[in-house]
Amino acid sequence: MRVLRISSSPHSIAVGVAAGAASSATPFVGFHILIALAFAYLLSGNMIAAGISTALANPLTIPFILAATYEVGLIMLGSEGNGAMAGQDILHMLRHLEISHLWEPVLKPMLIGSVPLAAVSAVVFYVAAFYAAKLFQSRRHIRRQGKIQARSVA
């Protein structure tokens, strides 16, 4: 609701929400807000809507987002069964900070898999936010007109 109350055009709000949703679908945990603000700025979207919508990536959703980007990346790379690593293997490498060994089997699929997920997220959330903002603003305008007419009659 806070995003819908922003006094900006529905397009600007929707671009901001789409930027936040797209950045939330990437494996760059901790940098989502910076990515969202950069996209919103470049696309003339609402920066506040972009920042707020990065909350889509939260402690409850991040494991699912990371798993989805990994799986989609494996499918896109065509290494569904051969290059896939088990979760325990990934955690072992993360504990020992073997980032160079993580690139090929983990990070590369996640980066590649995040591109289509971010694009789909951006489109879906743009459409939803655009129509929600347009509806909210038109109803608010009608309510204000009703109040103005009630005052002028009284």
Predicted structure pTM score: 0.80
- Please tell me which residue, 36 or 93, carries the higher pLDDT value: 36
Tell whether the model's pLDDT for residue 19 goes beyond 70: yes
Tell whether the model's pLDDT for residue 11 goes beyond 90: yes
Tell me the per-residue pLDDT of 66-88, one tens digit each, with 9 for 90 and over: 889 989 999 998 876 555 555 56
pLDDT at res. 113: 94
Tell whether the model's pLDDT for residue 137 goes beyond 90: no
- Dihedral sign, CA of 74, 77, 83, 89? negative
**Which of 52, 50, 55, 56 has the alpha carbon at shortest distance from 15?**
50
